[in-house]
């Protein structure tokens, strides 16, 4: 058996998030990618608030914020064909959302996939984990307790073969996933052949295009060009689409692309730099690659997903499991949430703390979310390619923040207070709906610990390597009961405990919790919908920041842990 129990195939953001989540849990990983260099290009630019919360859990949030751009600062300018710089209408593409006590990270950040990967890679390197490039999984064979893998690594042009054994393998190897194809898992859906796009990055040395704006000329129903400045100096991300364009010519000939740019925009004073990447299904650093007959020189929108996210000891995540139109900006974000959902479950099983059946909840939880995501992004794509929808095709509603993504229908969540409605959406929580098991766990500010330290918050207590038990009560006996019996019910699973006392509490006896907070502003009780102050309610927050259980009795906690713990 390899000293690393888990092999991750694919070093895009999905694979890197999974690797970091596992490392945070003390699980060794090996991550390989057949590419000879890391991806170049800034696709997947919109990192949504829920994904930013994942980065917060993993310790990469501050760098994402420092290197990215707040989406709400970018307005949309919509120009007619040939409209130049001066003839336009404006619209908010990412309307600003005011951060709140429960949702401190409320707005998306624009940052290229390449920069996001660099940040994740640097954090993995701090733990001694490095991606093996030029390394490809050739085949695998599953057994009851392991997976035998054949790997080939290219070193100085020479193939080096390796036979390795792992406990689990995760395919994060993109839409052409060799792992998915080998498993024979279905990848049902459609390819929109008539709605091709050419997307990529281009340097503009001179001929200023305002960087804090999304610039959109024309409309996708006929012809359009959309541009935004990346986080790199003078580098712009672009998308050309529409049936009136010759996509083959644009993607394979840089001069044709520049001519189309001038014609569509009406801008003839641009001084061009190097075109660094054009779409393919991966991003390429040399435009000549697009001329080979075996490669598609433009992006064909695919709308597909698997019917299961795992088979035996093999798991699929990100584009290997689902692809969609880039119009919705949900693909990379969904892959991130796939990885974070799977990471803690794999960690507990590998450590021998959880039943293998826990891994079945990965498909049970992510499948309905992704099915709904595809419906949403397909609707956005259809709107974008409908004539007369220049602005409407770029509208981005609150659903895309993914803060409403929930697992209320999960077989492993327990809710004694407000069991889930069968009609609830896995992608959006209805306004006024009470916090339920399976929902994102809210933050709360203004907490004071019993030692007198003020300004504490719940997001400082949650973490990717432990469950967190929040006990809302002012009854010492209830608190003592939940802490003692809840700790036993956890059966060795890493558990952090926090008691949340109402602001009226004074002289609360010492107890065995990791944290005892006074909810001075009442924000925690409000965000977790705990009323009245005399009641006792406990919330179990999973390592992925999801409420695993809402209970009013210790029996409820026991039921939750019995579902997953050995």
What are 22's two structure tokens? 């596992």
Q: Do domains 6-191+300-401 and 414-564 have the same CATH topology?
A: no
Q: What size, in residues, is the chain? A: 566
- The mean-pLDDT minimum among 10-14, 174-178, 210-214, 304-308 falls in 210-214
Give ∠ CA 313-316-321 in degrees, rounded to 5. 150
Q: Check whether 449 has a pLDDT greater than 60.
A: yes
Which comes out higher in pLDDT, residue 273 or 421?
273
What pLDDT score was predicted for residue 103? 96
What are the tens digits of pLDDT across the range 358-381? 999 999 999 999 999 999 988 888
Residue 399 to residue 430: CA distance in whole angstroms: 11
Residue 53 to residue 17: CA distance in whole angstroms: 12
**8-state DSSP, 354:** B
- The mean-pLDDT minimum among 137-151, 260-274, 548-562 falls in 260-274
Strands (E), 54-177: 69-70, 75-79, 89-92, 109-110, 135-143, 146-155, 158-166, 168-171
Cβ neighbours for 499, distance < 8 A, ≥ 6 positions apart: 471, 473, 479, 483, 511, 513, 515, 516, 517
What CATH superfamily is the domain 414-564? Answer: Glutaredoxin (3.40.30.10)
What pLDDT score was predicted for residue 222? 93
Residue 159 to residue 216: CA distance in whole angstroms: 47
Neighbours of 533 (CB within 10 A): 16
What are 474's two structure tokens? 């002012």
What pLDDT score was predicted for residue 43? 67
What pLDDT score was predicted for residue 552? 95
What pLDDT score was predicted for residue 422? 65
What are the tens digits of pLDDT across the range 7-48? 999 999 999 999 999 999 999 999 999 998 886 666 667 899
Domain ranges of the chain: 6-191+300-401, 414-564
CA distance to 72, 329, 392, 401, per residue, from 97 (Å): 8, 18, 19, 10
Q: Are 248 and 214 in contact (CB under 8 A)?
A: no
Largest CA distance in the chain: 76
What are the tens digits of pLDDT across the range 156-168? 999 999 999 999 9
What are the tens digits of pLDDT across the range 466-491? 999 999 999 999 999 999 999 999 99
What are the tens digits of pLDDT across the range 105-123? 999 999 988 899 999 999 9
Q: Check whether 280 has a pLDDT greater than 50.
A: no
pTM given for the model: 0.93
What is the overall mean pLDDT for the chain? 89
What pLDDT score was predicted for residue 448? 93
What pLDDT score was predicted for residue 430? 85
Which among 97-111, 262-276, 411-425 has the top mean pLDDT? 97-111
pLDDT average, residue stretch 221-225: 93
Neighbours of 57 (CB within 10 A): 22
What pLDDT score was predicted for residue 3? 76
Which comes out higher in pLDDT, residue 281 or 520?
520
Q: Check whether 498 has a pLDDT greater than 90.
A: yes
Proportion of the chain above pLDDT 70, given as a percent = 93
pLDDT band at 218 (very low <50, low <70, confident <90, very high): very high
pLDDT band at 351 (very low <50, low <70, confident <90, very high): very high
Residue 379 to residue 299: CA distance in whole angstroms: 18
What are 247's two structure tokens? 């996509």
Going by CATH, does the domain composed of 6-191+300-401 fall within 3.50.50.60?
yes
pLDDT average, residue stretch 135-164: 97
What are 392's two structure tokens? 């409407």
Please report which helix (H) or strand (E) contains residue 555, including its range. Answer: helix 554-564
Which comes out higher in pLDDT, residue 293 or 320?
320
What pLDDT score was predicted for residue 209? 83
SS3 string, 169-223, reads EEECCCCCCHHHHHHCCCEEEEECHHHCEEEEEEEEEECCCCCCEEEEEEECCCE
State the alpha helices, DSSP H only, in 428-553: 476-489, 523-527
What pLDDT score was predicted for residue 492? 94
Which comes out higher in pLDDT, residue 161 or 200?
161
What pLDDT score was predicted for residue 397? 65
Q: Check whether 134 has a pLDDT greater than 90.
A: yes
């Amino acid at each position: 058996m390899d000293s690393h129990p888990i092999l991750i195939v694919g070093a895009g953001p999905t694979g890197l998030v999974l690797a970091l989540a596992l490392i945070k849990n003390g699980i060794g990983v090996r991550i390989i990618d057949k590419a000879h260099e890391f991806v170049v290009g800034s696709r997947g630019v919109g990192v949504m608030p829920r994904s930013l919360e994942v980065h917060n859990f993993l310790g990469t949030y501050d760098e994402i914020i420092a290197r990215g751009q707040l989406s709400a600062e970018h307005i949309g300018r919509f120009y007619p064909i040939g409209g130049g710089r001066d003839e336009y209408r404006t619209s908010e593409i990412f309307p600003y959302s005011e951060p709140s006590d429960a949702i401190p990270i409320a707005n998306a950040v624009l940052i290229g996939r390449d920069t996001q990967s660099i940040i994740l890679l640097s954090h993995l390197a701090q733990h001694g984990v490095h991606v093996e490039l030029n390394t490809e999984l050739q085949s695998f064979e599953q057994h009851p307790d392991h997976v035998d893998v054949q790997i080939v690594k290219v070193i100085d042009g020479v193939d080096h073969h390796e036979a390795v054994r792992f406990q689990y393998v995760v395919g994060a190897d993109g839409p052409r996933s060799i792992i998915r194809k080998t498993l024979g898992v279905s990848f049902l859906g459609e390819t929109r052949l008539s709605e091709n796009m050419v997307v990529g990055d281009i340097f503009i040395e001179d001929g200023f295009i305002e960087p804090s704006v999304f610039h959109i000329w024309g409309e996708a129903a006929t012809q359009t060009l959309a541009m935004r400045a990346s986080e790199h100096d003078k580098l712009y991300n672009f998308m050309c689409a529409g049936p009136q364009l010759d996509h083959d010519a644009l993607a394979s000939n840089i001069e044709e692309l520049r001519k189309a740019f001038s014609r569509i925009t009406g801008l003839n004073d641009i001084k061009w730099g190097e075109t660094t990447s054009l779409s393919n299904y991966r991003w390429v650093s040399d435009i000549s690659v697009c001329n080979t007959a075996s490669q598609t020189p433009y992006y064909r929108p695919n709308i597909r997903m698997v019917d299961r996210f795992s088979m035996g000891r093999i798991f699929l995540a990100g584009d290997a499991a689902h692809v969609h139109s880039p119009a919705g900006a949900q693909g990379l974000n969904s892959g991130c949430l796939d990885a974070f959902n799977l990471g803690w479950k794999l960690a507990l099983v590998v450590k021998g703390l959880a039943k293998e059946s826990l891994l079945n909840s990965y498909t049970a939880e992510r499948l309905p979310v992704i099915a709904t995501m595809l419906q949403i992004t397909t609707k956005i794509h259809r709107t974008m390619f409908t004539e007369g929808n220049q602005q409407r095709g770029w509208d981005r509603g609150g659903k895309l923040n993914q803060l409403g993504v929930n697992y209320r229908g999960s077989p492993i969540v327990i809710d004694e207070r407000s069991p889930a409605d069968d009609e609830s959406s896995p992608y959006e929580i209805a306004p006024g709906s009470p916090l339920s098991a399976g929902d994102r766990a809210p933050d709360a500010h203004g907490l004071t610990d019993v030692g007198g330290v003020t300004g504490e918050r719940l997001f400082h207590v949650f973490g990717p390597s432990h469950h967190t038990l929040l006990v809302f009560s002012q009854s010492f006996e209830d608190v003592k009961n939940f802490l003692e019996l809840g700790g036993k019910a956890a059966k060795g699973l890493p558990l952090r405990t926090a008691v949340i006392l109402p602001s009226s509490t004074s002289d609360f006896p010492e107890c065995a919790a990791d944290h005892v907070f006074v909810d001075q502003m009442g924000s925690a009780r409000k965000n977790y919908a705990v009323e009245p102050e005399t009641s006792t309610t406990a919330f179990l927050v999973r390592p992925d920041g999801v409420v695993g259980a809402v209970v009013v009795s210790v029996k409820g906690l026991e039921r939750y842990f019995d579902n997953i713990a050995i």
